[in-house]
Amino acid sequence: MVTITPTSSLAGDVLLFEVPAPRDEKWIAQLQERYPGLEIRWHTSELTMMPKPLPDEVYDGVTLLVGFMPHPAEKLPKVRYVQLMSAGADRWTTNDLYKNPNVTFCTANGTHAPQIAEWVIGTWLMANHQFLSYAEQQKKATWNRQPSLHIEDSPGLRMGILGYGAIGRHCARLGQALGMEVYAYTRREKATPEARKDDSYVVPGTGDPDGLIPVKWYHGSSKESINEFLAQDLDLLVISLPLTDATKYIISKEQFDILAKKKTFVSNIARGQHINSDDLIEALKEGKIRGAALDVADPEPLTDGHPLWSAPNVFITPHVSWQTPHLFQRIQAVVERNLEGLSGQKPTLINVMNKTHGY
């Protein structure tokens, strides 16, 4: 039996959940037992890029917010903490709540890592073992080994992870299990063992909490430093960066020309605007890269008939790699940990954003 220690330090706070999940009465009761005087409101929303503002009475007095898409800042003058359901905050950066230095933003970093890393490795294996070609053949009820197909396994190949956060770290863990060598890229230098540790939420048994997997680390924010990393004979490039002004279209014609040396396979599970779509289509058509797996696109949603749909050796899904029935459980764990921080039971919060850097 779990013993709940009440604390009244959140008394008077109003916590609003605006989430695409049904109201969890059992969990709400546990939180209210632990934090007497904390008012909890719950609005089950649709997962949409164009949410409708909530009624004024729902916003009234809210001090703590858990949600996905931005809300009108003028409706939430008392908010001091925003817990995002996403790993990135690019949709919030123009919102006045985000601009307010007195409002702390925390991401859901780490909650998406297992499922997204599995998507990355699943599409990599699918491409290397030509599963789609054999799936098409199966529809014809024909037994043919297709000797002309190039099949390749992973031991000894090199995975480069552009953005070594929670998702990148679990990609590294799975890649290492396949026998791959991992190179990591971060914006800031990670020169010491302490600096290489992951300070975000980690699903137990996943990721690279101590930063021990990469055999080489690269860093920087300039195009030159990015290009140096891309020139390391990467077999698989995983793009797992936050989208900021500095990372928009970070992979364009010049970078594809660099990747052409090894004919790198490109996997993008971050944001579509990391890649220039016209340059990607050209790289695929000209065989500069061996293929691409995309869970995001530019534009997004990818318009009907867009030439990227018919480009050779590309696999596209409609931004679904984050999906799992366990996601909200993990977000609840982040919320619980941060309520401990806000109430003074813990000295710090987790997944706190650096608003200057945008992640």
Identity at 328, one-letter amino acid code: F
Whether residue 60 is found in the same domain as residue 179: no
CA–CA distance, 152 with 175 (Å, rounded to integer)? 14
- What's this model's pTM, rounded to 2 decimal places? 0.93
CA–CA distance, 291 with 349 (Å, rounded to integer)? 40
Q: Is the peptide bond before 301 cis (omega within 30 degrees of 0)?
A: yes
**Is 213 contained in some domain?**
yes
**Is 4 contained in some domain?**
no
By C-alpha distance, which of 323, 88, 321, 97 is closest to 200? 88
Whether residue 221 is found in the same domain as residue 296: yes
Whether residue 270 is found in the same domain as residue 336: no
CATH number at residue 255: 3.40.50.720
Whether residue 143 is found in the same domain as residue 270: yes
Is the per-residue pLDDT at 48 higher than 70? no
User: Structure tokens of 156?
Assistant: 């000894």
Whether residue 50 is found in the same domain as residue 192: no
Is the per-residue pLDDT at 1 higher than 80? no
**Is 83 contained in some domain?**
yes
**Is 123 contained in some domain?**
yes
Adjacent-strand bridge partners of 41? 16
Whether residue 199 is found in the same domain as residue 148: yes
Whether residue 208 is found in the same domain as residue 125: yes
Whether residue 254 is found in the same domain as residue 330: no
pLDDT tens track for 166-201: 999 999 999 999 999 999 999 999 999 999 999 999
**Is 7 contained in some domain?**
no
Whether residue 128 is found in the same domain as residue 251: yes
Whether residue 173 is found in the same domain as residue 258: yes
pLDDT tens track for 273-316: 999 999 999 999 999 999 999 999 999 999 999 999 999 999 99
**Is 122 contained in some domain?**
yes
Q: Work out how many domains the chain is built from and give that number.
A: 2
User: Structure tokens of 117?
Assistant: 């890393």
Whether residue 301 is found in the same domain as residue 183: yes
pLDDT confidence tier of residue 52, bands split at 50, 70 and 90? confident
**Is 359 contained in some domain?**
no
* Phi, psi angles (nearest 5°) of residue 293: -120, 125
Identity at 278, one-letter amino acid code: D
**Is 353 contained in some domain?**
no
CB 80 within 8 A of CB 303: no
pLDDT tens track for 305-354: 999 999 999 999 999 999 999 999 999 999 999 999 999 999 999 999 99
- Domain housing 236: 113-316
User: Structure tokens of 315?
Assistant: 């696999």
Sheet holding 81-84, edge to edge: 39-44, 14-19, 64-67, 81-84, 104-106
Tell me the angle at which helices 131-139 and 113-128 cross, rounded to the nearest 10 degrees.
Answer: 70
pLDDT tens track for 20-32: 999 999 999 999 9
Q: Outline where DSSP puts E strands in 175-247.
A: 181-186, 216-219, 236-239
Whether residue 167 is found in the same domain as residue 226: yes
Lowest mean pLDDT among 46-55, 74-83, 304-313: 46-55
